[in-house]
Chain A
Amino acid sequence: MVTEQLTSTASGNKANSGTKALSDSDFLRYSRQVLLAEVGESGQAQFANAHVIVIGVGGLGNLVAQYLAAAGVGNITLVDGDKVEVSNLPRQLLFHDSDIGVNKAVAASAKLTKAYTQVRISAVAEHLTATSMQPLFKLDRQYDVLLDCSDNFETRQLVNRIAVSQNIALVSASAAHFQGQLLCIEQQYKPDSGCYHCLFPADMKVNQTCQTIGVLGPMVGTLASMQSLMALQLLLGNKQLVGNLYRFDGKQFSWRQLIITRDESCSVCGQASHYNECVTSAGTANQNQHEY
C-alpha cells in the first residue's frame, strides 16, 4: 500500500511542494506512467499537485484538457467564452450535437469532471481579456504551466504578456491548413530565448487561421498531443524543450526545430519593457477583441 507522503525531486515549479499521496487506486490507474523512470511515483504526485490553465477550449484545448486530466494533472482551469457550434464537431472531440450552444469551457469541464473524478476542473466562461484575466492571475506563479490553445493572434499576444509578467512557463501550440507550430518559453529558466513577441511581433501580418483556410482534425490533434506532452515534461522538471520552436508540416510529415532568440528591444520581455505595464495597457486596448 502506498501511504507515504510523496515529495518531488524536480526543481523550479510549484508542484514541488507536493503534499498529495498516491492512493492504491491511483497507483493502478496511472501504472503505465509510473512505470516510466522519468515519472515514477514522485512524478505522478507532481502531476496531481500541479495546476495548469488552458486558454481556449477549441480544437487544441479539447484534447489538451483531456490528455492532462487523463494523465492525472490535479487542477485544470479552462478558459473560453465561445459556445459550441456544429462546425467545431469534426475536431473538438469532447463535444457532440447536444452541446451546440453550450459554452465550451463549461461543456468540457462537465464531461472531464465526470470522466476523471480525481481531477479538479474549473471553467471560466469568458474570453481572455485584460479585465477577465485579473481574478485568474492574482498570485505570482499561481499556475505551473500556461497552455495557449487560442485561435487568434491577438489573444496569443495577451497570453504571452501574462506568461512573462507572471513568470509562468508558456506552452503555445497552433495549427491551420497543414502547418503547425509548437513552442515553449520560460523567462526565469531561459531568458535568452525571449518570448512569443520576440518571435512574432504584435504588428506581424497573420494569414493562416482555421476560419479562413481550413484545417483537418488530426492536424490539430497532432499539435495538441505534442503540446500536452511538452506540458507534462515541464511538470516533471524536464526543461530541455524550453526555448525551441517546432514547426510541423502535415503534408510532408516533417518537423523542423528552431532556437528562439530574444529580441533585446522587445516591448514585452526586452530590457526596456515593464512587464505589468505591458499587460495592463496592451490588454486594455484589446479587451473587446479577444476571442478564440
Chain B
Amino acid sequence: MITIFINDAMKQVEQGASLTKVLEQYSLENDIQLAAIAVAINNCVAPRATWHTTQCQANDKLELFSVVAGG
C-alpha cells in the first residue's frame, strides 16, 4: 500500500493503482458521480482519457473538483 492525498486528506491505496481505480473507489465512498469529477495530480490536470494509464505514486496529491458553469 502507498499513501496519497485526495483533497488534502490522507488515503491508502494499492501500489500501482490506476487513477481510474482510485477515483472509482473514492466516488463510491463519497457518493460522488465519477462523470462529474475532474482531477489534478500534483497541480497538473489529468485529462480523463489518461486516467486508466496513470498509476498513482506515493505522496501524490490529488485534487478533485467539478466543473462550474454558472455566470
A207–B36 contact, CB under 8 A? yes
Query: CB within 8 Å of A: which of B33-71?
Result: 33, 35-36, 38, 40, 43-50, 63, 65-71
How far is it, in angstroms, between the C-alpha of A261 and the C-alpha of B19 when the chains are bound? 16
User: Is A200 among interface residues, defined by CB-CB distance under 8 A?
Assistant: yes
Interface centre among B35, B49, B71 (most CB of A within 10 A): B71
B33: which A residues are within 8 A, CB to CB? Answer: 205, 207
How far is it, in angstroms, between the C-alpha of A92 and the C-alpha of B35 when the chains are bound? 32
B38: which A residues are within 8 A, CB to CB? Answer: 199-200, 204
With A206-B36, A260-B45 in contact, is A181–B71 under 8 Å at CB? no
B70–A176 contact, CB under 8 A? yes
B40: which A residues are within 8 A, CB to CB? Answer: 258-259
User: Is A43 among interface residues, defined by CB-CB distance under 8 A?
Assistant: no
Q: Which of A150, A176, A203, A209 contacts B35 (CB 8 A)?
A: A203
Q: Which of B45, B50, B66 contacts A208 (CB 8 A)?
A: B66
| Interchain nearest-CB distance for B39 vs A (Å) | 10
How far is it, in angstroms, between the C-alpha of A224 and the C-alpha of B68 when the chains are bound? 14
B43–A259 contact, CB under 8 A? yes
Chain-B contact segment, one of A20-28, A56-64, A67-75, A117-125: A56-64
How far is it, in angstroms, between the C-alpha of A178 and the C-alpha of B40 when the chains are bound? 20
Q: Which of B35, B43, B45, B71 contacts A205 (CB 8 A)?
A: B35
B45: which A residues are within 8 A, CB to CB? Answer: 198-199, 245, 258-261
Q: List 24 A-B contacts (CB under 8 A).
A: A59-B70, A150-B69, A150-B71, A153-B67, A156-B69, A175-B70, A176-B69, A181-B67, A181-B68, A203-B35, A204-B36, A205-B35, A205-B36, A206-B36, A206-B66, A207-B33, A207-B36, A209-B69, A247-B65, A258-B45, A258-B63, A259-B45, A260-B45, A263-B49
The 10 tightest CB contacts between A and B, nearest first, are A176-B70, A263-B47, A210-B70, A205-B36, A205-B35, A151-B71, A60-B71, A153-B69, A174-B68, A200-B67
On B, residues with C-beta under 8 Å from A are 33, 35-36, 38, 40, 43-50, 63, 65-71
